[in-house]
Structure 1
Amino acid sequence: MKKKILTGSIFLAALFLQQAHAQDVEFKSSNFKDKKEEFKSIEEGLEKAEPFYQAGFDLVFNVKDPGMNFKQALNYYEKAQEFNPNSALNNFHLGICYYYSSEPYKAIAYILKAKELNPECDPFLYFYLGAVYQLEEKFNEAIEAYKYFENDYKKADDFTKFVTQRKRECAYAKERKANPERVWVDNLTTINTAYDEIAPSITTDGSQIIYSSNKPNGHTPDEVGEYDMDIYYTDFEDGSWNTPKPLPGAVNTPNDEVVNNLYYDGTKLLLHRELDGQTDIFESFLNGANWMNANQLPVQISSDRNNEKYASYNFDGYKIYFGREVASRSNGYDIMFSGLKSKINGDYGAAANVSTVNSKFNDGPIYLAIDGETMYIASQGHGSIGGYDIFVSYKKQGTWSKPENMGYPINTPYDDFFFANTANGKFAYIASNRAGGKGGFDLYKVTFWGAPKEPAFDMEDYLLASVASPIKDPQIANTVEVNKTSLTVFKGKTIDALTGKAVEAEIDIIDNETGKVIEQFTTNSATGKFLLSLQAGKNYGISVKAEGYLFHSENFDIPNGSAYQLVNKIIELKNIAVGSKIALRNIFFDVGKANLRATSNTELDRLVKLLKDVPSLKIEISGHTDNTGSSSINDQLSQDRAQAVVDYLVNHGIAKDRITAKGYGSTRPIASNNTASGRQENRRTEFEIIEN
């Protein structure tokens, strides 16, 4: 006799119905004859919960944020659960409310119990049974549950796109879990709380994280007892992150403030805020030690009719990328961009859709790398393995490429989103509501191992941060390749040389080859701090000036292909007083000669301007060498070089009686002559104020 083979829906029905042994206690008055008054109160609560639950479900169905709906329904369902823990439908409703919360792992037990009590309690039970199996990384069981739901669901609507997506997610997840990326993902336990911590932004030097949290903040809680999102910061000191504090200034309000992106130099940030039921993008600027009240961006970005959030600055400061939810569509948020027409007028062009990176589901948050060619995107679509995943897209011939999943365990079946990575690409910071955290969304640090046998990390990298480097997502190999950006991060602060107090100063960045100023900015008025990034392949002059002080200059030569480096510089500015002395670091001579190179003109012209601006100054130009070679040759070379500078100044209108030239040879070293770097420091041209 042949065995009967179960196939198709018969097999699936057998698989999922065989455990239906427990008793489903429905909310009927006949089941609670001895608790009539309590039952009546619970029944009224369930009636109040129904419109919230349905509104939340409808929004999810249309790929929109369910808002407070599931949270408002949850309170009633929890009271009903205490009264009667064996209602299949109430367990299912509880599971749905938790699934769409910041703690989706709490849904698992309720959905499984609903299925045990009554596998037919709701038409969507098997869809969400698949969803919780997916959270548990039981991908085969999840696929079977989705198939069972798909076979049973006969409505002519668009819900099938969710089923198709979920089955695809499980297939992707199986492949990626079998080939995990070479990374560590660690919870930032010193920052996270039992509340939600999201949206990490990292200063370029890695010394500070700015993020948002809804932990208690002294404001009035909302109708479900939750606090609004405020912005916090924490500094990296002595090898760890210190106690977070609210961001100083006027940026935090009783509304939700969610950080979107901190600009590369740390002077401004984008955030989104909900007002009167609409979410828009705002911008705040750092003024001294405080962040100013945020202003809403123009209508081209923060439109009148749509919701916008998750904005990111482009590296050039002219474009802003952001997410927009078009009310008439059911594709969730799409990534758009708008370009600044004029920095003076602050007007933007019409927003354009970045079609190649958008899916049929929510896309964003976004992070644009400083190289201008790498975009990190969180998305529920594309090749997600569940919830939001983080993807990377590259700009190729002016077009953004199809996003590539960054792999497991960076991405999980939970929501993994927001992304800010370090300057050398070895570390990144994300937010996730995966199980095992401290509660809700937590912040996580991702450490990329790199290819096998390469060093895992350098201690200095703890100081690096959010200037992005491309991270390629291999399709088969279990390594993460990191394309290192040829980049120098130049940070520091300007202080008074005598008092040590912060000095607000203007900094010009000059391309020494062309003599053009390529960037201008002002150091922080409260701290004197500054931070910028310099690309490889140029020789830079950096001029620092402040009212009442001698100007300061630095010179950086960054050849093409140079490795990442971090330069931390304290610039001591000197008052224009007799005896003040300064090295002219951007004056260049031919080797062994006193011929001024053309690249010296920018520095010399600044000295001309100083002497013309302060006509009472009389100065000595001094030349200095290292101790290589004979003293007599060094003395003569230093004298000739000092005289060459004097001749330039005189030829540009400075009176001869205001300038003297003196060559000191190797007699006044400022560093050791035993090293190449020390000898380079000693080869210099200086000027000293001798009368004012």
Structure 2
Amino acid sequence: MRNLIVACAAAGSVAVLSGCAASGGLSKADKRFQRGEYETAIELYKADVAKGKEIAMANYKIGEAYRLSNRVEQAESYYKAALDGGVKNADAGFNYGLALKANGKFEEAAAQFQQYATNGTNRTLVARAEREAQNAQASTQLTAMRTNNEVTPLDQINTPSAEFSATIKPDTKELIFASGRDGKKYPGNGEGFNDLYAIKFDDAQKMTGGTVQSYEAVAMNPGAAAAPATPGSPTATPAKDSGKPLFNKANTHEASATYSPDGKMMIFARSNDGSKKGFLSVDLYASYFRGGTWTEPELVKGVNNSKADDFSPVLSPDGQTLYFASSRPGGQGGNDLYKATMGANNRFSAPENLGDQINTPGNENFPAVAPDGTLYFSSDGHPGLGKLDLFRVEKNGKVTNLGAPINSNGDDFAPYLTANDMGVFASNRAGGKGSDDLYMFRKKPLKLVTFYAEGKVVGVNGKTGTSAPLANETVDVLNSAGQKVQSVQTGADGSFKVKLDSSATYALVADRTGYFTARQGVSTVGRTPAQDQLPNEMNDISIPVNLTLTEIVKNKAIVVENIFYDYNKWDIRPDAAAELDKMVQTLVDNPEISIELSSHTDARGKDAFNQTLSQKRAQSAVDYIISKGIAKTRITAKGYGETKPVIKTAKTEEEHQKNRRTEFKVTKINAPAGTTN
């Protein structure tokens, strides 16, 4: 955002430019610098560097000229050269940090700001440096945040010159914006003076088609009969048909038009021509549509401050509150946001600062109000992605960065909300046509995800081990509290599919008399892909589930995997506890069975020792299971030592490990409750 006078992004610009009369002894570069003619000053200072003339200070002044014309990202190398050259300036280190931040070098910026906070001599900047260091550290996290928005350049409007500050005139639905595309160049940054322009889109929803016209031509030929003007300026008189421009003046900037709900009152920002002060200060002006024409713009009474720039006005949707930015004294620092309300006398009240939750020692500019009343604004004082970012004020007062792709490491500013989730903003990000360009943004329709558990129920013959799909088997879906929330029947091939909620945890259970209950946990928590990874508006995601019902055979040993003990010990380790918890669940799911839990050792060691150790290990496992609520009458412990090896001639460690095992077998099958044997 290079259009400093109307945009007023650079903190301290008024202080630097005020009192611009050139004093004796100043170089040509210094004189240009003091008059705010930064573009010419930069070239003159570069010539001084080439000649070896006061190199450190000349480099610093180049950096300052870029910063004060809001091109601080281009100042980085000059600030560094100045500091390396030993420049004597109390603010150099802080301003170097700003340049690093503007270029997205957040870790380097944080270190630079922290160094200035420790060693700097400008007390005001020392306090700000501490906050900037925190912001830069927070910005490293923001770079990874990407929101569900899409951004499209309005290329039928954009030119190599600046385009920014868009709004829609409510009665005619024209898009009004500022641009420096025509006229004399402003010496502060080498770009054109800003004027107001208008376009009537052929497709307003997509913002396509139409022809850009000077706002002057549109305003003076409204194409509609006069209507009662909005109250607010009883002394205003219609402009005389003098042939002179009414809104777009030569050698001044005009930008940031805003309208009353009926379109009959217009407030905008205009600079003076610099003939008296030596620089272009900015004030708010109002014009009213009366008698078929617009009145001569006049200063908005009671709102402007003679010692400051007042700019980027916006009216609330009901037209009763005027928000704007100002560099006036008494704020938090830099530019602050203010508001004034329409009083009973149809004049605005004294402006009120929006407070330190919104305003910072940096710059807050370009407020905007969505149709639902939500306040948006631009700032470089809150954690962001580089220079100015767009922010939203939440209902609880918290300020939220809108994130990429709306924000970038360039200036992203001047939002206008056409709906609660779409609108227009300006940016000088890479890839544009040049300077500031207008972009449309909208929240993409949220892509939806439906989760399913999908799989088969298979039955296994307990004696032969053969398996086959089970048709017409009931699968129960239990929630995290163990309550059944739905059931589904398997098809002829044993398959099933059941819908699940997102961010939920389930257990799928199949149960058949004479078989071990089959259970599998399923969770959809954290499984929803990112929006940019979803191919369709509606997306089905299946989670595979396989439920195996194994026939219960009495006295058939079943190995319990992954039950390990420390050497010569029988304590239940955490990894063994996790496996024994599965055994607990098996006993809960199959209340009709009683089991023997056995422990086996390998053949190494003495027989008696192995027998005692295996019995203690088996008993420890049983005690653990009983501690989880299983009746002790349903489970017994048995240590077999080395008497029942799986591999009788074990030689390798792997073979010995197979012999060191824990098993269980069903010793009794009780009749289900309510039945008889």
- Normalized against structure 2, the TM-score is what? 0.51
Matches within 5 A, 1:98-177: 98-111=66-79, 118=85, 124-151=91-118, 153-155=119-121, 157-177=123-143
- 1:172–1:385 CA contact under 8 A, matched in 2: no
Q: Which moved more, 1:205-214 or 1:269-278?
A: 205-214
Match of residue 568 from structure 2:
none
Output one character per residue of 1:486-516: Cα deviation in whole Å (capped at 9) or x when no partner: xxxxxxxxxxxxxxxxxxxxxxxxxxxxxxx
| Counterpart in the other structure of 1:650 | none
Number of residue pairs aligned between Structure 1 and Structure 2: 391
Q: Which residue of 1 aligns with 2:201?
A: 236
5+ residue gaps, structure 2, are 1-23, 221-245, 450-528, 533-677
Tell me the secondary structure at the aligned position of residue 365 of structure 2. Answer: strand
2:145 counterpart (179, 197, 207): 179
Quick one: which of 318, 321, 326 aligns to 1:319?
321
Contact 1:206 1:422 in 2 (8 A): no
Is 1:417 matched with 2:397?
no
Give the corresponding residue for 2:296: 293
2:152·2:440 contact (CA, 8 Å) conserved in 1? yes
Structure 1 residue identity aligned to 2:361: K
Match of 2:343 among 334, 337, 341: 341
Match of 1:201 among 148, 155, 167: 167
Query: Where does residue 614 of structure 1 map in the other structure?
Result: none
Distance across 1 between alignment mates of 2:198 and 2:341? 29
- Asked if residue 215 in structure 1 is aligned to residue 181 in structure 2, the reply is yes
Q: Amino acid of the residue matched to residue 77 of structure 1?
A: Y
Is the Cα–Cα contact under 8 Å of residues 321 and 337 in structure 1 kept in the other structure? yes
Deviations 1:16-74 (A, max 9, x none): xxxxxxxxxxxxxxxxxxxxxxxxxxxx9972434665x6xxxxxxxxxxx93644632
| Contact 1:391/1:406 (8 A) holds in 2 | yes
Quote the Cα distance in structure 2 between the aligned partners of 1:423 and 1:445. 12
Aligned equivalents of 2:126, 2:406: Cα separation in 1: 28
Q: Which residue of 2 aligns with 1:433?
A: 428
CA distance in 2, matches of 1:69, 1:162: 28
Partner letter of residue 215 of structure 1? R
The Cα shift of 1:274 comes to: 2.2
Q: Which residue of 306, 331, 334 maps to 1:332?
A: 334
Once the two structures are TM-superposed, the CA of residue 443 in structure 1 deviates from its matched residue by: 1.9
Letter in structure 2 aligned against 1:47: S
Query: What is the identity, as a one-letter code, of the residue corresponding to 2:151?
Result: V
- 1:119–1:125 Cα contact (<8 Å) kept: no
Query: 1:268-287, CA deviations, whole angstroms, 9 ceiling, x for partnerless residues?
Result: 43211123554321123456
Kindly provide the amino acid, as one letter, of the partner of residue 121 in structure 2. K
Q: Which amino acid aligns with 2:388?
A: Y
Corresponding residue number in structure 2 for 1:673? none
SS at match of 2:313: strand
Q: Is 1:444 the equivalent of 2:439? A: yes
Report if aligned partners of 1:378, 1:416 keep a CA contact under 8 Å in 2: yes
- 1:199·1:258 contact (CA, 8 Å) conserved in 2? yes
Cα offset, 1:98, TM superposition: 1.8
In 2: Cα distance, 1:336 partner to 1:223 partner = 27
Deviations 1:267-315 (A, max 9, x none): 443211123554321123456997553222122x234555422222122
What are the Cα deviations for residues 299-336 of structure 1, in whole angstroms up to 9, with x where unaligned?
2x234555422222122222222233333556233333
Identity, in percent, stands at 24
Which structure has the larger Rg?
Answer: 2
| 1:367–1:420 Cα contact (<8 Å) kept | yes
User: What per-residue deviation string (whole Å, max 9, x for no partner) do you get for residues 391-426 of structure 1?
Assistant: 112456xxxx2322212332234322111122252x
Residue aligned with 1:147, SS: helix
- Say which SS state the counterpart of residue 195 (structure 1) adopts: coil
1:282 to 285, 307, 312: 285
Instruction: Give the whole-Å Cα distance in 1 for the aligned partners of 2:25 and 2:192.
Output: 24
SS in structure 1 of the partner of residue 333 of structure 2: coil
Q: 3-state DSSP class of the match of 1:282?
A: strand
Counterpart of 1:361 in structure 2 is: 362
**Cα shift readout 1:627-649 (whole Å, capped 9, x = no counterpart):** xxxxxxxxxxxxxxxxxxxxxxx
Q: CA 1:224/1:409 → structure 2, altered by over 3 Å: closer, same or farther? A: closer
2:248 to 248, 252, 266: 252
Task: Determine the C-alpha separation between the residues in 1 that align with 2:52 and 2:152.
Answer: 39
Q: Secondary structure at the match of 2:143?
A: helix
Q: Distance in 1 between matches of 2:290 and 2:213?
A: 18
The answer for the alignment partner of 1:20 in structure 2 is none
Q: Secondary structure at the match of 1:96?
A: helix
Cα deviation 1:604-627 (Å, max 9, x = unaligned): xxxxxxxxxxxxxxxxxxxxxxxx
Q: CA offsets, 1:169-198, max 9 Å, x none?
A: 322221111122222334333322332222
Mapped partners of 1:177, 1:288: distance in 2: 53
| Equivalent-residue separation in structure 2 for 1:179 and 1:433 (angstroms) | 20
> 1:165: Cα distance to partner?
3.1
Q: 1:120 to 1:273 in 2, by over 3 A?
A: closer
Map Cα deviations across residues 122-150 of structure 1 (whole Å, 9 max, x no partner).
66554444333323323223323333444
SS of match in other structure, 2:200: strand
**1:375: Cα distance to partner?**
1.0
Report whether the alignment pairs 1:68 with 2:36.
Answer: yes
Where 1:359 maps in the other structure, the secondary structure is coil
- 1:203-247 deviations in Å (ceiling 9; x for gaps): 469963211122332x58658765422101123236734442210
Of 15, 27, 36, the match for 1:47: 27
Does the aligned pair in 2 maintain the 1:50–1:73 contact within 8 Å? yes
Q: What is the CA-CA distance between 1:88 and the residue it aligns to? A: 4.8
Aligned equivalent of 2:266: 269
Q: After superposition, where does 1:524-603 map in structure 2 within 5 Å?
A: none
Q: Which amino acid aligns with 2:194?
A: M
Distance 1:231 1:364 in 2: 19
Q: Measure the CA separation in 2 of the matches of 1:353 and 1:328.
A: 9
Contact 1:364 1:378 in 2 (8 A): yes
Specify whether residues 350 and 113 from structure 1 end up closer, same or farther in structure 2 by C-alpha distance, changes over 3 A only: closer
| TM-score in terms of structure 1 length | 0.50
Query: d(CA) in 1 for partners of 2:45 and 2:441?
Result: 37
**1:162–1:70 Cα change, 3 Å:** farther
In 1: Cα distance, 2:186 partner to 2:122 partner: 42
Give the secondary-structure state (helix, strand or coil) at the position aligned to 1:341: coil
Separation of aligned partners in 2, 1:420 and 1:264: 15
Secondary structure in 2 matching 1:237: coil
3-state DSSP of counterpart to 2:112? helix
Residue of structure 1 equivalent to 2:481: none
CA contact (8 A) 1:102 1:433 kept: no
Matched, 1:406 2:409: no
Q: In structure 1, how many angstroms separate the alpha carbons of the residues matched to 2:46 and 2:289?
A: 44
Q: Is the 8 A contact 2:57 2:87 kept in 1?
A: no
SS of residue paired to 2:45: helix
Contact 1:45–1:76 (CA under 8 A) maintained in structure 2:
no
Tell me if the contact between 1:103 and 1:433 (Cα under 8 Å) persists in the aligned partners: no
Distance 1:214 1:108, change over 3 A: same
State the SS of the aligned residue for 1:259.
Answer: strand
Letter in 1 for 2:166: P
AA of the residue aligned to 1:374: T
**2:123 is paired with a residue of what secondary structure?**
coil
Contact 1:46 1:76 in 2 (8 A): no
Aligned to 2:63: 95
CA distance in 1: counterparts of 2:335 and 2:188, whole angstroms: 27
